[in-house]
Amino acid sequence: MKKSEGNRRAAIFSKAKQEVKYLAVQELHHKHGWSIQWMCKVLKIARSSYYKWTHRVETSNEIENHELCNLILDYDEMFGHILGYRRMTDWINEFNRVQYNPKRIRRLMKKLGVKSVIRQKSKKYSRSTPEITAENILNRNFFASKPNEKWLTDVTEFKIKGSGKKLYLSAIIDLYDLSIVAYHISDRNNNQLVFDTYHKAITRYPEAKPLFHSDRGFQYTSRVFRKQLEDQGMIQSMSRVGHCIDNGPMEGFWGTIKSEMYYPNEFNTKSELKKAIDVYIDFYNNKRLQKRFKNKTPMMVRTEALGSETPISYSIPTNKKIEAYWSNIREKQMQATVA
């Protein structure tokens, strides 16, 4: 057992209540062969009390909670500690054919000290002078009625700590199902990175002619790239300067992959990081359930839609923070008009 993992477990145990401590000792002893004596010492519980607890008669509710705690710990470890109580509830209910209340899952997660990683804010980078720009045709209308109707794209960077080395990830996301249509990883943030991503997308969907939206990065404003879009019959759309929310769903994906895959882990080599990105995007597309899609994965939604003449319409949930922001702006504008 690694020392860092032992320290993490010890920190979790210290927050747990007595019964949950007993459950943790029992589970980890059976599953990993951890020393009962060592765990009791870390938890500051008497071994005699633990053994007395193991011989008691459990109630049906205790048995059920025990099983739920096992599922929570399994999923928490399986998905790298990225599941909050809502998504934890979704996973437990969907894949175990049960219907547990989120409040119960939250209570048990709190007792176990299990919580999702916290998303960190990304840094902002300056852009070079563009060759050609396009209008913001998308205009924050992120609803799509079918696959390949609207694509968003962008590039983000990942750093190898302590080495100064970087990897750049370029991706294209479909607004209908939020699946990653294509992506490419490179040591350099150049035109070729974006071109390779785009070529992967049209190779996979040669008949696709979506509205193609990006920010005003130098790759997207190049004449060569503009010509490629025109040849494919795509209409180009670009975010306004300084308005990253114009490309909101794409920025949202960057926040998701970094908070769930990048920030919680340390990568010593580019190959380690590249493999982790590959694994995560496969997980995101094929295993990560989304509430908006009624607990389906992006590829489940995409496959269903591509095989149907009338794809299901998935409404976009209201973002209360954004609504409050614009409400505040409108209120200030009205006050200024009156004054």
Write the CATH number for 203: 3.30.420.10
Alpha helices (H) along 16-101: 18-32, 36-43, 47-54, 60-78, 85-96
- Of 60, 83, 112, which closes a domain? 112
Helix (H, G, I), strand (E, B) or coil at 177: coil
* Of the candidate ranges 38-52, 71-85, 110-124, the one whose mean pLDDT is the lowest: 110-124
Higher-pLDDT residue of 339 and 195 is: 195
Q: Which residues contact 154 (CB under 8 A, 6 or more apart)?
A: 170, 171, 214, 215, 217, 247, 250, 251, 254
- Do 96 and 189 reside in the same domain of the chain? no
pLDDT surpasses 90 at 164: no
pLDDT band for position 126 (cuts 50, 70, 90) = very low
> How confident is the model over 239-289, as pLDDT tens digits?
987 777 788 899 889 989 998 999 888 899 999 999 999 999 999 999 999
Identify whether residues 221 and 86 lie together within a single domain: no
Are residues 162 and 284 part of one domain?
yes
Task: Give a yes or no: residue 47 inside a domain.
Answer: yes
Residue 51 lies in a domain: yes
State both tokens at 45: 């519980």
Residues 195 and 108 in one domain: no
- Written as six digits, the tokens of 176 are 């209908």
Q: Is 73 inside a domain boundary?
A: yes
State the virtual CA torsion across 142, 143, 148, 154 in degrees, nearest 10: 10
pLDDT at residue 87 above 50?
yes
Which of 61, 90, 112 marks a domain boundary? 112
203 shares its domain with 272: yes
| Whether residue 180 sits in one domain with residue 264 | yes
Tell the residue number behind the tokens 């010509």, with chain if given: 227
Residue with token string 């509710």: 61
- Residue 242 CB coordination number (10 Å): 10
Least confident of 61-70, 92-101, 322-331: 322-331
pLDDT score for 7: 62
What average pLDDT score do residues 309-325 get?
Answer: 75
pLDDT at 173 over 90: yes
- Asked if residue 320 belongs to a domain, the reply is no
Is 276 in the same domain as 197?
Answer: yes
User: Residue 34 carries which side chain, given as an amino acid letter?
Assistant: W
Residue 118 lies in a domain: no
For residue 238, list its beta bridge partners.
214
178 and 240 inside one domain:
yes
In this structure, the answer to whether residues 165 and 94 fall within a common structural domain is no
The pLDDT-based confidence of 153 (bands split at 50, 70, 90) is very high
**pLDDT tens for residues 14-47?**
544 677 788 789 888 888 889 999 999 998 899 9
- Round to whole Å and give the CA distance between 222 and 128: 11
**Is 323 a member of any domain?**
no
Q: Which domain holds residue 224?
A: 150-306
The answer to whether residues 105 and 159 belong to one domain is no
User: Which one of 112, 130, 159 terminates a domain?
Assistant: 112
Question: Which pLDDT value is given to residue 6?
Answer: 61
Query: In the chain, how many domains are there?
Result: 2
Inside any domain, residue 314? no
Strand order in the sheet with 211-214: 180-186, 166-174, 150-159, 211-214, 235-238
Residue 119 resides in a domain: no
Instruction: Tell me the pTM.
Output: 0.66
Residues 154, 200 share a domain: yes
Please report the pLDDT score of residue 125 as a whole number: 45
Within this chain, do residues 296 and 177 fall inside the same structural domain, yes or no?
A: yes
pLDDT above 70: percentage of residues in the chain: 86
- The pLDDT, as a whole number, for residue 15 is 44
pLDDT reading at 78 higher than 50: yes
For the chain, percent of residues with pLDDT exceeding 90: 46
